[in-house]
Amino acid sequence: MRLIGSTPGGRRASLTRLPHRGFWTYDAAVSISDELARARQLTYAADETSARDLLLSLIPQIGQEDRDDLMLEVLAQLGEIYLARGANDGVQESIQRIDDCLAIYTEVAADANAPMICRYSRRAQFLRTGLAAAQGDHDGAAAALEKLNDATSDGDFADLADEHTYLRTLAQVLCATALCDDDLHTRSLPLWGQVLNAVDQSRDGGEFTDHLLVTAATAYGRFCVETGRLSEAEPWLRRAGARAQQRGWELATARTQLERAAACWSVGDHVSTEQLISQAYPVIERHARVHDLARCWLYLGFTRMASGALEAADECWERAEQHWRDLGKPLHLHRILLQRSWISIFWSRFGDAVELIAQARELLDSSPRSSWLQYAQLDNHLGTVWRADALADLGFDSSGDPDETLEETEARQAEGLGILRGEVGTPEYWRGLTKLEQAAELKIPAALAVDSVRYSIADADARSRWATRISAPILAGAFAVAWEWENTELISELVEYHSARGTFNAEPQRSPVGEWASTATAPVLIDTEEALSAAGPPPQGAGSLTRLGPLPPLQMQPDAAPIMSHYRALALQRYGRDVTAAEPAWSTWP
C-alpha cells in the first residue's frame, strides 16, 4: 500500500502563481517526502507530538519549494494526528485548509491535477467522517462514510485504490467504535462485517497494512468483549498485539492488553486482569489517552474491590471519574458514578449513594443517546441501595457502619456470614420491610423489562449472552428482595412467572462476576434491535419448545386476578416495555 510517494499527477500548480517548472530541486523534494514518511511512522508509533513537530517544521521548506501537493500531505497527516488525540478543532482546521487549497486547483487546473484533487479530497473526507464519529454525530458520520465509499466520485485512479481501501476501512472502524461508545453496538454490526472483510483481503505486510490490521483487530476485539463474544475476541486481540509488538508500537500493544484485561474480568479472572492492566497502564498514561486511562482505573478498582480493598477501589474509581469528567462523555460518566456508589452502599452511606445515582440520572437525561435499558439498570441499582439500607435495619452482619472507616468496613465484610441478626417485630424490622417494599417497586419492573427482552431474542446465543450479562443479575436481585421482604405471595408469583416458559435448557443463569462488578462495564445491546424496538406478537420459532416474546397474563388460581399486574404495568410505564402479551390469560395450575 502506498500513501506517501511520488507526487500524484507529477505536476505542480501553485495556488498563487503560474507554474514555474524547475523552480524546486529534486533532492529537496525527495528529502521532504522522506520526512513525511518518517512523520507517518511516528504517528503509527503513537508519538504524535514528534510527528506534529516534524510536520510543522517542514512547512517553511515546502512553502519555499512551492509544493502544494506536499503541503496537502502535511495538512492531511496533521488532521489525522489531531483526530487520534481528540483535538477536534485541529481536525476541523485541517479539513478547511485542504478544502481551500483543493478549491483553487479545481477552479484553475482541475484536469491537470485530477489525481491530486482526488487523493486529498478523500483524505479530507476521511477526516470529516472521523470527526463526525468522534463528536457522536453518527448519522453525519454515516453520510460522510458513504461519500468516502463512492470510489468513482472524484475519479478512478488505479494507483490510489489501495489508499482508498485503507481510508475507507479505517473510517469504518472509527464509525463503528464511536457507535459502541454510545452503546449502539447493534448499529455497528454491518460496519464490523465490512471491516473484517477488508482486513482479510489486505495483501502485503507493509506498515499501512499492519496499522490497519492492528487498529481494526483491537477495535473489533473490544466490540466482541463488550458483547460477550469472548472466544472471538481472543484471537483478534492476540493477533493485533503480536503485530503491534513486532512493529514496536507500544501504545497499540498496550491497548490490546487493556481489551484482553476487560475480557479476563468478564469471566472472573482477577489475576490476569490485574496483570494485563499493570502492563498496559504505564504506556497508556505516557500517551495520555484519557478514555483508556479511565478504563484502566475502572478495572484496577474492580480487582481491588474483588479482594475486599474498598478504600483502594474507591481511589481508583475516583481517578476514573476524573478522567471521564475531563472527556465530558455523559454515558461513561453516569456509569462510573453508579460504580462509585457501590462504595457508599458497602459503607452504609446510603444518602451518598442515592445522591450519586441522582447525578447519574441527570447525566442520562442530558444524553441524547440514553436508552430505556440504562434507565432500567439505574432504577435497579437504586433498588439495590434501598435493599442494602433495609438489610442494615434488619441486622445484616456484613453491613458497614457510616461512622467507621472504610478499613473497618472491609474487615467486617471479610468476617460476615451474610446473615440477618436483627430481631423480628422491632421498629427497625418494620422499617426494613418498608424499605424492601420500595426496593421491590424499583427492581421487579426493571427485571420484568429486561427479562422480557431476553425472551424476544430469537438467536439462542444472543439470548444467552443477554441473560448472562444483563437480565440474570437483575432478576436474581428481584427474587432476593421479595425473599427478604418475606413476601411469600410475591416469591410464589415470581417463581410461577419464571417457570411459565418451562425449563428445557440450562441457560447460563448468572454472570461469573458479582453484581457490583458489572455496573460500570458496557452492557450488551446486540442482535436485539427488534427485541428492543418493539414487544410485538411473539415470534414463535417453528418446532421450538421455548416460548419467545412476552408472556400473556398469568393466572395462578381459579377466579384469581392475573399475577404481578402492578409490576408489569410499571415496566410499561417506566421503560415502554410491554412485558405482557395481548393474549388471553394462561392458567398456570395443573
Interaction between residue 565 and another protein (CB under 8 A): no
Which CB sits closer to another protein, 534 or 561? Answer: 561
Interaction between residue 496 and another protein (CB under 8 A): yes
Interaction between residue 541 and another protein (CB under 8 A): no
Among candidate residues 579, 524, 571, 575, the one with its CA nearest the CA of residue 549: 579
Which CB sits closer to another protein, 177 or 452? Answer: 452
Which CB sits closer to another protein, 315 or 496? Answer: 496
Out of 21, 60, 89, 504, point to the residue binding another protein (CB under 8 A): 504
Interaction between residue 489 and another protein (CB under 8 A): yes
Interaction between residue 558 and another protein (CB under 8 A): yes
Please give the grid coordinates belonging to residue 108.
Answer: 484553475
Interaction between residue 26 and another protein (CB under 8 A): no
For residues 251, 469, 525, 315, the Cα torsion angle rounded to the nearest 10 degrees is -40
Residues comprising the chain, all counted: 590
**Per CB under 8 A, which region of 14-22, 122-130, 276-284, 475-483 contacts another protein?**
475-483
Residues 6 or more apart from 314 whose CB is under 8 A from it? 301, 340, 343, 406
Least CB distance from residue 93 to another protein, whole Å?
Answer: 52
Least CB distance from residue 203 to another protein, whole Å?
Answer: 46
Out of 24, 157, 429, 586, point to the residue binding another protein (CB under 8 A): 586
Count of positions on this chain that bind another protein (CB under 8 A): 48
Interaction between residue 557 and another protein (CB under 8 A): yes
Q: What are phi and psi of 551, to 5 degrees?
A: -85, 150
Interaction between residue 589 and another protein (CB under 8 A): yes
Which CB sits closer to another protein, 375 or 497? Answer: 497
Which CB sits closer to another protein, 195 or 447? Answer: 447
Out of 42, 98, 373, 480, point to the residue binding another protein (CB under 8 A): 480
For residue 89, give the 3-state DSSP assignment. Answer: helix
Least CB distance from residue 369 to another protein, whole Å?
Answer: 30
Query: With b meaning 16 or more CB within 10 Å and e meaning fewer, what string describes 17-39?
Result: eeeeeeebeeeebeebbebbebb
Which CB sits closer to another protein, 6 or 307? Answer: 307
Among candidate residues 235, 170, 190, the one with its CA nearest the CA of residue 1: 170
Least CB distance from residue 581 to another protein, whole Å?
Answer: 11
SS3 letters for 393-419?
A: HCCECCCCCCCCCHHHHHHHHHHCCCC
Tally the C-alpha atoms within 13 A of residue 465's C-alpha that lie toward its C-beta. Answer: 20
Q: What are phi and psi of 555, to 5 degrees?
A: -120, 120
Please give the Cα distance from 87 to 563 (Å, whole number): 55
Please give the Cα distance from 590 to 587 (Å, whole number): 8
Least CB distance from residue 588 to another protein, whole Å?
Answer: 5
**Per CB under 8 A, which region of 296-304, 404-412, 493-501, 525-533 contacts another protein?**
493-501
SS3 letters for 199-239?
A: HHHCCCCCHHHHHHHHHHHHHHHHHHHHCCCHHHHHHHHHH
**Per CB under 8 A, which region of 41-49, 80-88, 320-328, 500-508 contacts another protein?**
500-508
Interaction between residue 554 and another protein (CB under 8 A): yes
Interaction between residue 18 and another protein (CB under 8 A): no
Out of 351, 512, 541, 576, point to the residue binding another protein (CB under 8 A): 512
**396 - beta bridge partners?**
420
Please give the Cα distance from 356 to 587 (Å, whole number): 43
**What is the distance of C-alpha 240 from the center of its chain?**
19
Least CB distance from residue 423 to another protein, whole Å?
Answer: 16
Out of 25, 246, 499, 565, point to the residue binding another protein (CB under 8 A): 499
Out of 103, 545, 569, 582, point to the residue binding another protein (CB under 8 A): 545
Q: What is the pattern of x (binds another protein, CB under 8 A) and - over residues 279-318?
A: ---------------------------x------------
Q: What are phi and psi of 422, to 5 degrees?
A: -70, 160
Q: What are phi and psi of 539, to 5 degrees?
A: -70, 120
Least CB distance from residue 504 to another protein, whole Å?
Answer: 7
Out of 495, 534, 561, 569, point to the residue binding another protein (CB under 8 A): 495
Interaction between residue 501 and another protein (CB under 8 A): yes
Out of 229, 260, 270, 443, point to the residue binding another protein (CB under 8 A): 270
For residue 580, give the 3-state DSSP assignment. Answer: strand
- Residue 577 · residue 571 · CB < 8 Å: yes
Directed axis angle between helix 372-393 and helix 427-454, to 10°?
160
**Per CB under 8 A, which region of 12-20, 45-53, 72-80, 508-516 contacts another protein?**
508-516
Which CB sits closer to another protein, 427 or 558? Answer: 558
Interaction between residue 272 and another protein (CB under 8 A): no
Which CB sits closer to another protein, 157 or 479? Answer: 479
Q: What are phi and psi of 554, to 5 degrees?
A: -115, 135
Q: What are phi and psi of 574, to 5 degrees?
A: -80, -40
Q: Which residues bind another protein (CB under 8 A)?
A: 268, 270, 306, 417-419, 472-473, 475-476, 479-480, 483, 488-489, 491-492, 494-496, 498-507, 509-510, 512, 545-547, 551-552, 554, 556-558, 560, 586-590
